[in-house]
Amino acid sequence: MPLIIRTIEASRDIKYEGGTADHCCVILDGWTCCYQSLTGGRRQILSIHVPGDLPDLQSLHLPSPDFGMATVTRSIVAFVRHAKLRELSEEFPTIAQAFLREAVVTAATHRAWITSLGRRDARQKVAHLFCELYLRLEAVSLAGDYIMPMPLRQNDLADALGLTSIHINRVLRNMRIEGLFDLRLRRLEIRDWAALVAAAEFKPQYLHLGN
């Protein structure tokens, strides 16, 4: 399949909210996010993506995205034209089913994020996000032994969790003191996985990583 592979520096836009798209993206390396913009330079991060993710599969059928995409870290991104993906889906029905499954799991993940934003307190929000990211990274062999990269800055976490950077700073400090994790030099070491899961009321079924 013909691909266009680009290396994009950190904090750069990949797609623009309200623009048009004739291709989908596959994250090969690095971290990216999808977001919606608000007035005054504010934004809400809608999802965080790691290698192996297809952040904008919906653009295959909705080619004018209602969200923007940006890099969190320096990233390598493969761009695949919609026309080629449609040809692939028509020729191989099992791949079409895989795309549908990806869209369904993405919707399940969005529901989990909505629950966090609407009903979890700040400590629970942080714990839930860290649990989710650890399992997703572990699934693609980028985390293990309860250690994972954590390139998200405090303002990224604030934008993803609907909090202020000051509040995030206080919550992270308190959770470190509790012994739940250690976070330094863009590396997160989870010290007590069971306690972190309990704090988040984390139920990983929505990720469907085991089937």
Residues 84 and 120 in one domain: no
For residue 207, pLDDT over 80 is answered with yes
CATH number of the domain that residue 18 is part of: 2.60.120.10
CB 123 within 8 A of CB 202: no
Residues 140 and 184 in one domain: yes
Distance between CA atoms of 11 and 20, rounded to whole angstroms? 21
The answer to whether residue 78 sits within a structural domain is yes
**Mean pLDDT along residues 103-114:** 97
Q: What is the mean pLDDT of residues 62-68?
A: 89
- The confidence score (pLDDT) of residue 211 equals 62
Whether pTM > 0.85 for this model: the answer is yes
Together in a domain, 117 and 183? yes
Q: Report percent pLDDT > 90 for the chain.
A: 91
Claim to verify: residue 138 and residue 192 sit in the same structural domain: yes
**Mean pLDDT value across residues 66-93:** 96
For residues 118 and 203, membership in a common domain is answered with yes
What is the span of the domain harbouring residue 32?
4-91
* CATH code, 123: 1.10.10.10
Give the whole-angstrom CA distance, residue 79 versus residue 107: 22
Count the domains in the chain.
2
Tokens read off for 75: 């990233």
